[in-house]
Structure 1
């Protein structure tokens, strides 16, 4: 079996898992299928690209399993006019999928290397509505807001109140909350006035949000 055949088989298995859980519509599946996930993971892990496993990527980071990514992206309820902030560019896969479903995406990562690699992948796919920035993700990107949607791929120990002002009224933020060394809850927070309405999506184990930016890589 060739690498391409394995990837197609992996994507088909992923779709079956999602449909069994009642997750994913045509637009989401089309956006994910159009984004060759194997190109966003190291070659030695390509056969597992469409698995539920977290996989290692550059800079000691990891890419979340595609099942969790699909669930979160669907919960963002994206439309073509939305401005989206992503905290944690990683390999750039989720930003690429979101860019196919939203109007504009700004993706932050503390590692310059990850941002540069993601940019090359997005350019190769012809995606022009997504921008990578090296930044302290814990501060968000107030100068570029407000955002209709915010998604964070690293855990907060408590509700990140500083993001309230960066989210438009009626906007949605999805982020994991909980202790750094234990299970966290991936929460969907909908902004109503100056407060959030909360919905719990899944239990996760993600890295805590690191402060500052990486100087060397």
Structure 2
């Protein structure tokens, strides 16, 4: 990570950003963050050659890392500002949390698999993301000790948004999550806490792994 990037690195990064633009993403801050956070450090070595492909890739515990275009789409919909406190549900490898860490003042990321939580914590600290706190716990409960949050990102599909989770949104806060029964593509929804309550809008569809309540120990 400390090596000086060569010309091939910059070429690959430029091609990656172009791919994201072609999927319809134009948010400058999110594009810059995606460019600054390569997927390689968040993957097993056998998947390095596919890191810049717009596909989901396997990680530990039978889970997967979302395609970059879906990650970018959901984060862009959050509208994260530099002063925001963000909660992420579903840490996985830590890739999405790292991108959020480039955009927000602080990030709490919650993971139900102990193995993934431990690995992500070590990885993010090793990469210098000191603004990110990794929590082992049931993400569907959010993380009440640090609530309220300006933004909440859920990277696993839910049949409905738990009241306890949406209740941790600050006034004017935004939550983005896949919503559906897991039998096919889910709606990607944007929920805003306004003066008269929560307003939900579906803005895309994708196939995302379903959320599971509770916690799991190491494999």
The TM-score normalised by the length of structure 1 is 0.91
RMSD: 1.8
Q: What is the deviation of 1:36?
A: 2.6
Alignment of 1:35-114 (within 5 A): 35-114=37-116
Following the alignment from structure 1 to structure 2, what is the Cα–Cα distance between the partners of residues 6 and 67? 22
Find the counterpart in structure 1 of residue 147 from structure 2.
Answer: 145
Q: Structure 2, unaligned stretches of length 5 or more?
A: 1-5
Gaps of 5+ in 1: none
Shift of 1:123: 1.7
- The answer for the alignment partner of 1:171 in structure 2 is 173
- Please report how far the alpha carbon of residue 199 of structure 1 lies from its aligned counterpart in structure 2 after TM superposition: 2.4
Question: How many pairs are equivalent?
Answer: 214
Once residues 160 and 149 of structure 2 are traced to their aligned partners in structure 1, the CA distance between those partners, rounded to angstroms, is 21
Are 2:153 and 1:134 equivalent residues in the alignment? no
**1:153-180 C-alpha deviation (Å, 9 max, x unpaired):** 1111123322232000110000010112
**Equivalent residues of 1:148, 1:168 under 8 A apart:** yes
Deviation at 1:15, TM superposition (A): 1.5
Stretches (4+) displaced over 3 A: 4-11
**1:66-115 superposed Cα distances (whole Å, 9 cap, x missing partner):** 01111111111111110100000010011011011101100000111111
The 1:191/1:98 distance shift into structure 2, 3 A limit, reads: same
Relative distance call for 1:24 and 1:133 in structure 2 (3 A) is same
